[in-house]
Amino acid sequence: MSIQENYHHIKNQLPEHVQLVAVSKTHPVSAISEVYDLGQRIFGENKVQELTEKHSELPQDIQWHLIGHLQTNKVKYIAGFIDTIQSVDSEKILKEINKEAAKHNRIIKVLLQVKIAEEDTKYGLTEDEARELFRQFLKGTFPNIDITGLMGMATFTDDKAQIRKEFMNLKTLFDDFSRDKVLETLSMGMSDDFPVAIECGANSVRVGSAIFGQRDYAS
């Protein structure tokens, strides 16, 4: 199927309230333009350099989401334009984003990335770490950041029950946090598991290969 057909196929499966982040990492600007022309405005990238290059070449009304691990020394390159950083996985990075956002006189939206997968994953906060950061945020420690939700990735497996269990854990945490502040975004689900994620309460999904086709290398 073409990119256009893929895009419509995915959009048709998403309920009205579910936001689509089109994950364009490794795909060229021309492919992003195609999807942009179909009306898509939210795109996700996982590497800072690739993101800044694409940002400079593409229409300025794109809302860029960073979905990959971010190093503190790279925050400055995206702080001026990034819409949402979905991959906040430490206090250190949150502090740095807050600092750089202040320089640009902005409030940057972030999601706390929580480790929900059973498999050993490198990045993500434990539930307790996420709670602690959220508590600090609610106290006003990070004035140039707005924590608008949570993000998680399920284990890479065909076991739907396992995936469902992991997504439900994050949904429970999301509901828990929501008692202290209304959170907008529960970001779970990728090309292979977004229907399960939506059943479990996701209102934002990050879909790459099902729109743009397979990537040349795993990332």
Joined together, the tokens standing for residue 175 give: 């509901």
Joined together, the tokens standing for residue 23 give: 């994950």
By CB under 6 A, the residues from 17 to 46 that bind ligand PLP are: 23, 25, 46
Instruction: Verify binding: residue 48, ligand PLP, rule CB under 6 A.
Output: no
> CB of residue 210 vs ligand PLP: minimum separation in angstroms?
6
Of 23 and 202, nearer to ligand PLP (C-beta) is 23
Instruction: Verify binding: residue 206, ligand PLP, rule CB under 6 A.
Output: yes
Instruction: Verify binding: residue 208, ligand PLP, rule CB under 6 A.
Output: yes
What is the C-alpha to C-alpha distance for residues 55 and 66, in angstroms, rounded to an integer? 12
Instruction: Verify binding: residue 63, ligand PLP, rule CB under 6 A.
Output: no
> CB of residue 45 vs ligand PLP: minimum separation in angstroms?
9
Whether residue 98 contacts residue 142, with contact meaning beta carbons closer than 8 Å, is answered with yes
Of 97 and 208, nearer to ligand PLP (C-beta) is 208
Instruction: Verify binding: residue 191, ligand PLP, rule CB under 6 A.
Output: yes
Stretch that binds ligand PLP, among 2-10, 91-99, 175-183, 184-192 (CB under 6 A): 184-192
Instruction: Verify binding: residue 190, ligand PLP, rule CB under 6 A.
Output: yes
Q: What is the DSSP letter of 193?
A: T
What is the C-alpha to C-alpha distance for residues 9 and 211, in angstroms, rounded to an integer? 9
Nearest residue to ligand PLP, scored by beta-carbon proximity? 208
Whether residue 207 contacts residue 6, with contact meaning beta carbons closer than 8 Å, is answered with no
> CB of residue 118 vs ligand PLP: minimum separation in angstroms?
17
Provide CB contacts within 8 A for 20, sequence distance 6+.
10, 11, 14, 40, 42, 204, 205, 207
Instruction: Verify binding: residue 124, ligand PLP, rule CB under 6 A.
Output: no
Of 183 and 188, nearer to ligand PLP (C-beta) is 188
> CB of residue 175 vs ligand PLP: minimum separation in angstroms?
22
What is the C-alpha to C-alpha distance for residues 16 and 140, in angstroms, rounded to an integer? 33
> CB of residue 201 vs ligand PLP: minimum separation in angstroms?
17
Joined together, the tokens standing for residue 3 give: 């990119």
Which stretches of the chain are assigned E, i.e. beta strand? 19-23, 42-45, 63-66, 84-88, 108-115, 145-153, 185-188, 204-207
Q: Which residues of the chain form contacts with ligand PLP (CB under 6 A)?
A: 23, 25, 46, 67-68, 153, 190-192, 206-210
